[in-house]
Chain A
């Protein structure tokens, strides 16, 4: 897949200016590639029009899998494979299975959800991320606009728009 290589960057100092700028830029018909921030800015995902993440659903499904696996394991081992009377209890004493079932539900839900998060966000130790600006992880918010994606709009118009929306700097950034 060919990667986009030329970007215009609007650099913002304040989260509230950034949020207003995102709205303004989108209203002017410019497509935003992505916004990079040093910390989670609440409400930004709605302004960018992102769909709500489905990670909670993944967590629920993995949790359900954990519950089923735990019950199958315990009933299979103690009720079917080698039934024994322990403390005068039934072969399948369901109340006694609650703790292990609960723990495995939580374990699978957490690990499953985090695994999906890692895969969907491409987080891995050998990842080679495109760093738009080194200050993103420090104190600057960066709005990246893909030039190829906004072919109909003049580059200068986009830059002017960013400037007027409160960007402290407007830069070009190219990747090899």
Chain B
């Protein structure tokens, strides 16, 4: 695909990440001051809270969306850095294929982990 297209997706993914990762960070790490989506008394990383989020369709959908957007954004960013160092044509091809494979594999694995969680809001779970 043309680099201009890939770059536009990179910027777009960045905007998605800004919203979803901002929310993720606020929930997980600004819990003492904000307390959003907090379960009563449990820390955001405790199993009880993890299950409560997994049961919500919103979190299940946005986890997968954030996973895909962040993987694309991060891997395309890494590709940019590597390509800027002027690799030869063969190496460029290897970087393209290697990074794409790593990205797809991590996306598949992460999606499985998000959907297979006990009680996850999916057709198979629930």
Decide whether A and B are members of one complex. no
Chain A contacts to B: CB under 8 angstroms = none
